[in-house]
Chains A and B, each alone.
Chain A
Amino acid sequence: MDDVRLREIVPAVIGVLVRRGADFASAEDAVQEALVSAVANWPADPPRDPQGWLVTVSWRKHLDQLRSGRARAGREVAYDLEPPPGPVPTADDTLRLYFLCAHPTLPPASAVALTLRAVGGLTTRQIAEAYLVPEPTMAQRISRAKRRLAAVRLDEPGDLPTVLRVLYLIYNEGHSGEVDLATEAIRVTRQLAAVADEPEVAGLLALELLHHARRDARTDATGRLVPLAEQDRSRWDPAMIAEGVAVLQAALARDRLGEYQAQAAIAALHADARSVEETDWVQIVEWYDELVGLTGSPVARLNRAVAVGEADGALAGLAALAELDPALPRHTAASAYLHERAGRLAEAADRYAAAARAASNAAERDHLTRQAARLRQSG
């Protein structure tokens, strides 16, 4: 059994323990312990029924925890090792788990960590590695999140936008180590889409698939970031694009537009263009208008100004940009690009250099610095 299948059964096993009367925090701890033991033992000694094995071992771990807790409290211990088989977990159990892990009272970093562990079935070590922090730090982040959830009533209705936000954060984290967060995000979004029939869940899944399809083309052989316009589109994954487009079309047909569907629509229009020249910028601007209407997001406004520059010419783009706050992240980078398109190369070079100093990540800084250097060489 591979790691991914193992991760997939974790939420169901937590569901079984909760059904048998364990509280969420203890159930999650017990399953995590069993999971660590599975990762260590299964390669040499694979069980015939992985889910049954995880349930049995997790339940034993849970009882051990209870016993040691009671022993400390000096009370009697009387538990059956094997409880009566409970009902199988349902879609509602899975959904409840998503809502709990991404509860609005949790800070985003805690919700992300807990979701990856309880819904995604990752071990604490894997999550710590993915976020480049030591394992004890991540373990503490998760146990604090669970302590905070102890006060939450389980019958409270869930908050789907928060769940989607958490999955989006995981997807967008970008860098990949042993565990690839983008792939994990797609997997848990797919799982969610199977139990939550909402257009925005499908919209998020489509968005993730359509961006993931470009993944191989996003970096060159040396690991440098390649911007969309310069990507080798033959390296995009056509099957993933086809799936993303199909998921998106089904969602859009239900006529309940949301921000993820709008973002996915923009990605789908890029995916549809065989070369950058074939891009339907007029439609892309229309989708940015929708996105701005839905979210009011300054980032969407900025991207819209760049799209206007492509659809109606660089000067129109600069005019749209002039209406926005120059302190916005990537405002200077967008201005540099539009100045270059307008043929104002010296100004563009200065703006690229300024944008590099204000870049929000190292890959972007390097890219902007090269843009400035390129224009100064040719100027």
Chain B
Amino acid sequence: MAKYLLLKHYRGAPAAVNDVPMDRWTPAEIDAHMTYMDDFAKRLEESGEYVDGQALKPEGAWVRSDGDGRPPVTDGPFAETKDLIAGWMIIDVDAWERAVELAGELSAAPGAGGKPIHEWLEVRPLFPAPPTVDD
């Protein structure tokens, strides 16, 4: 088994096929989208492949140290052009092909007009622990 991170972007991903921002959807379309996401996570739990999923608020800031004895420096809110992560899901699956298959399903969540969004999701393998046998 191998773990993969599925990353969803607010901004910064290539344009989706059904590229209408969520605030232009009808409330029923938003509900349908949320139900699809919940059902997807539930199905993954049932197939023994779900690890974690979280959504992120769009706000926040860059933070860095400014040296000993000084408070950290912040830079925010984020510029409108910044690549922005909307949330993630971590899955634990047999192979890369299965990760791609699942990301494809997630990308087909319904959006405006009840039609699949076909949005681009970023799929990234997690590093596993080093093996015990190494010679």
Contact = CB atoms under 8 A, between A and B. Distances in A.
> Do the two chains bind?
yes
Interface of A: 107-110, 131-134, 136-138, 140-142, 144, 171-175, 182, 207, 211-212, 225, 227-228, 263, 266-267, 270, 303, 360-365
Interface stretch (B15-23, B25-33, B48-56, B108-116): B48-56
Given A107-B94, A109-B1, A365-B127, A132 B133 contact: no
What are the 7 tightest A-B residue pairs by CB atom distance, in nearest-first order? A141-B48, A175-B129, A362-B127, A109-B1, A140-B48, A363-B130, A174-B129
Contacts of B131: 172-174, 361
Contacts, number: 76
Nearest to B49: A137
A172 to B, nearest CB: 5
Nearest to B2: A109
Nearest to B48: A141
A172 B48 contact: no
A173 B133 contact: no
A137 B51 contact: yes
Given A109-B94, A365-B127, A263 B133 contact: yes
Contacts of B1: 108-109, 131
Nearest to A140: B48
Given A131-B92, A134-B51, A174-B132, 16 more contacts: A109-B48, A109-B92, A132-B51, A134-B45, A136-B45, A137-B44, A140-B45, A140-B47, A144-B48, A175-B129, A211-B132, A212-B132, A228-B134, A266-B135, A361-B130, A364-B130
B128 interface: yes
B80 interface: no
Nearest to A185: B132
Contacts of A303: 135
Contacts of A173: 129, 131-132
Contacts of A227: 134
A308 to B, nearest CB: 14
A133 B132 contact: no
Interface of B: 1, 3, 44-52, 92, 94, 127-135
A270 B133 CA distance: 13
B135 A228 contact: yes
A360 B104 CA distance: 25
Contact of B133 (A171, A225, A362): A171
B48 A110 contact: yes
Contacts of A267: 135
Contacts of A263: 133
User: Which of A138, A141, A266, A363 is the most central at the interface, judged by chain B CB atoms within 10 Å of its CB?
Assistant: A141
B96 to A, nearest CB: 13
Contacts of B51: 132-134, 137
